[in-house]
Amino acid sequence: MITPNSIPVSTPPADDSFRDHFNGINEDGKRNWFYPQKPKGVWHNRRIWFTVVILTLLFVTPFLKYNNQPLLLFNVLERKFIIFGLFIGPQDYWLFGLTMLSFMVFIVLFTTIFGRLWCGWACPQTVFMEMVFRKIEYFIEGDSSKQKLLNKSPWTGDKVLKKGTKYFSFLLVSFLIANLLLSYVIGVDKLSKIISEPISQHVPFFSGIIIFTAVFYFNFAWLRDQACTVVCPYGRLQGVLMDRNSIVVAYDYKRGEPREKLHKGHDRTAGDCISCFQCVAVCPTGIDIRNGTQMECVNCTACIDACDSIMDKVGFDKGLIKYTSENAIVSGVNKLITNRTRGYIFVLVLLWSALGYLVVSRNDTQTTLFRAPGSQYIENKDGTISNLYTFKIFNKTNQIVKPVIHLDSPKGTLLFAGKPDLTLEGAGMSEGTVFIIIPKSELKNRKTKLKLSVYQAKEKLETFETTFMAPEE
């Protein structure tokens, strides 16, 4: 039976009743708390190095600036985003939408080819859980058997010290992650200003830091593997994103089955799996990868290392569990680029082309200038005609802009009501009313199209049009 928490990629074993229940919950309806053994091996070492790179990038990026603004900023509160120097403000919802859409198509394409490579190597949840919090836990409480013993033991001074040190360390790291998150939301400059000023001046932000610290602490101290197996929507979508050509951490059942314990001195007729259960013992989500690809597998590679070390010990070839695909196991051949991936690549190229065009052709300002509702033209004594307009100028950059509106054609003048200061803060907006005055000699029709531009100093930021009404000749 295939349940929603299963992914029918690898051929399941004859008895697939394990799919009928969620392994994070036991038969009494209580949580199965997993104590994975310390992973070690070639793949784990690779992941350690990759984690160093990822964490360095995560912590250094908020300090990187381009054009005097952060390289990345996700200010959801003010709807301001900066993606590698490209500022996306509240006016650029279409740009934001298209960026998100192409990001989603990219995720679909990436997952179809490489499965959950992201989850195992780069997802902040796995990186922090397995490479930071779990390491702290191993350091303080020891490997899985010692952790189990400690949890069962009575509350002695040693236990209080170990548990206290562990959870206090968890709290500190959660606080650090909360600050890291905020540095991506409001930027490091604002964050350091807030931290250096009295709490009373920034109560909402300090409350935010406390709330996020509590959420991260809850996540890494209690929720743990269930963040991936129950909460994460990406994890739940694996069943539709992956296919038989996707690269996953998989057990080579053709080589491993039938599994059988190793009996010294006996001629072995069974497969290479010696049923040592080491792959299960190291799994942070508590699954048995030999049952086939499952939604709970975050592709952390711990079972590859565990099995490789067993294969080494018993003198069999490594790679009984490895990165491969279902088709590669069955036929020995794998196709990374299929018609499905070609389709995704085609859509992605279209989206990126549209995105590129929109970014290149994008103006720094967006101006709307309409005739004031209900207003008529005014015939002036000096032989000119006036129309009254209301205007709005939006600054689509994150820098201060001092715009000047200029009438390009026909000849005429602009007379602003009240001499407004049009200076625009980053992502700011300015509005007002203006008379456009044009000599009658320039107007041939009742309705004339006006061409206007917005300048900053000598730089033309934008051109736009509006209509001008004049009496019938």
Instruction: Name the residues that contact ligand SF4, by CB under 6 A.
Output: 249, 251, 256, 273-279, 282-285, 287, 289-290, 297-303, 306-307, 310, 320-321
User: Please, which residue, 51 or 301, has the CB nearer to ligand SF4?
Assistant: 301
Beta-strand relationship, 384-395 and 321-324: unpaired
Q: How far is the CB of 186 from ligand SF4 (least distance, A)?
A: 35
Nearer to ligand SF4, 34 or 464 (CB): 34
Which H or E element spans position 250?
strand 248-251
Closest separation in Å from C-beta 166 to ligand SF4: 23
SS (H, E, C) 36-88: CCCCCCHHHHHHHHHHHHHHHHHHHHHHCEECCEECEEEECCCCEEEECCEEE
Nearest partner of 228 among 51, 34, 471, judged by Cα:
34
89 vs 120, which CB is nearer to ligand SF4? 120
The distance of closest approach from Cβ of residue 151 to ligand SF4 in the complex, given in angstroms and rounded to an integer, is: 22
Place of tokens 């499952």: 294
Q: Quick one: 308 or 364, whose CB is closer to ligand SF4?
A: 308
Which residue lies nearer to ligand SF4 by CB, 34 or 352? 34
Contact predicate 304/249, CB 8 Å:
yes
Q: Check: CB of residue 255 under 8 Å from CB of residue 21.
A: no
Cβ distance to ligand SF4 smaller for residue 297 or 424: 297
Q: Give least dist CB 370 to ligand SF4, A.
A: 59
Residue 244 Cα distances to 16, 19, 297, 298, 367, angstroms: 19, 19, 16, 17, 52
User: Smallest distance from the beta carbon of 230 to ligand SF4, in angstroms?
Assistant: 15
Angle, vertex CA 291, rays to CA 297 and CA 266, nearest 5: 125
State the minimum distance, in angstroms, from the CB of residue 43 to ligand SF4. 9
Nearer to ligand SF4, 304 or 385 (CB): 304
- For the bound state, the minimum distance from the C-beta of residue 256 to ligand SF4, rounded and expressed in Å, comes to 6
Instruction: Compute φ and ψ for 459, nearest 5 degrees.
Output: -85, 125
What is the amino acid identity at position 451? K
Residue 195 CB, shortest distance to ligand SF4, in Å, is 37
Minimum distance between the CB of residue 251 and ligand SF4, rounded to whole angstroms?
Answer: 6
C-alpha dist (Å) from residue 283 to 35, 45, 147, 200, 247 = 9, 16, 15, 46, 19
Closer residue to ligand SF4, CB minimum distance, 190 or 236:
236
- Rounded least distance, CB 303 to ligand SF4, Å: 3
Which among 225, 320, 326 has a CA at the least distance from the CA of 276?
320
- Nearer to ligand SF4 by Cβ, of 93 and 277: the residue is 277
CA atoms of 268 and 444, how far apart (whole Å): 100
Omega before 439 cis (within 30°)?
no
DSSP string, 421-473: ---B-TT-EEEEEEEEEEEGGG--SSEEEEEEEEEETTEEEEEEEEEEE----
Cβ neighbors of 370 (< 8 A, separation 6 or more) are 389, 390, 391, 466
* Residue 287 or 351 with smaller CB distance to ligand SF4: 287
Contact 117, 299 (CB under 8 A): yes
